Amino acid sequence: EMNELKNKGVKRILNMAIECEDMIGLKDTFESYLKLCLKDSVEEDVESGLKVAVEYIVQAQRDQSPIYVHCKAGKSRSVTAVLAFLIESRRWTLRHAYDYVVERRKGICPNIGFVAELMRLEEKVLGIRRSSMTTEMDWAENEAMDKNNKVESCGMG
């Protein structure tokens, strides 16, 4: 796994999972390593963690240092960080960011607490009153689309 990351030119690692320890020496191998100790729980307060994650990704982009963002399953916490980055740095709607990410990584499933935080972020960053994905129907449509494409669904509807 480490060789694959090196072969892809990755220079920085962002670990979004409290339970993922650096057992293979990522800290010593890559230019920069940051661990944010977040639980994949609807009760987890991710606002400050997302700010740090977005800043870290933005800095990597500025420095032209490819970054690998991960969590335990690669479905919720890491995806939430990437979605927050796209909303903040590119000023994309949550819907646009979600569609962009799901097209590149099937089976994503940010937990509903993280989705609520992303909706608040979208409203704040874009200055809108209502998120682009405000209804359960929006998530249900994405889930149905995933099922039609035989992709694992996350039960967001």
- CATH number for position 40: 3.90.190.10
Q: Supply the residues annotated as catalytic.
A: 71
DSSP bridge partners of 69: 14
Burial class, 107, CB count within 10 angstroms (exposed 0-12 / middle 13-18 / buried 19+): middle
Asked if residue 155 belongs to a domain, the reply is no
What pLDDT is attached to residue 151?
37
**pLDDT tens, 1-39?**
789 999 999 999 999 999 998 877 888 899 999 999 999
Q: What is the pLDDT of residue 149?
A: 42
What is the pTM assigned to this prediction?
0.85
What is the pLDDT at residue 21?
Answer: 87
Q: What is the mean pLDDT of each run of 10 residues along the chain (157 residues)?
A: 92 95 85 96 94 98 97 96 98 97 95 95 94 63 48 39
How far are the Cα atoms of 35, 76, 79, 83 from residue 17, in angstroms, in the given order?
7, 10, 12, 16
Q: What pLDDT score does 137 carry? A: 44
Distance CA 47, CA 61 (A): 21
Residue 18 is given by DSSP the state T
- The token pair that represents 66 in the structure block: 């490819």
What is the DSSP secondary structure assignment for residue 156, as one 8-state letter? Answer: -
- The pLDDT of residue 135: 54
- Domain range for 110: 2-148
In a domain, 156, yes or no: no
- Residue 2 is predicted with a pLDDT of 85
Q: Is there a domain that residue 154 lies in?
A: no
How far apart CA 31 and CA 44 sit, in angstroms, is 29
- Overall number of domains in the chain: 1
To which H or E segment does residue 142 belong?
helix 136-148
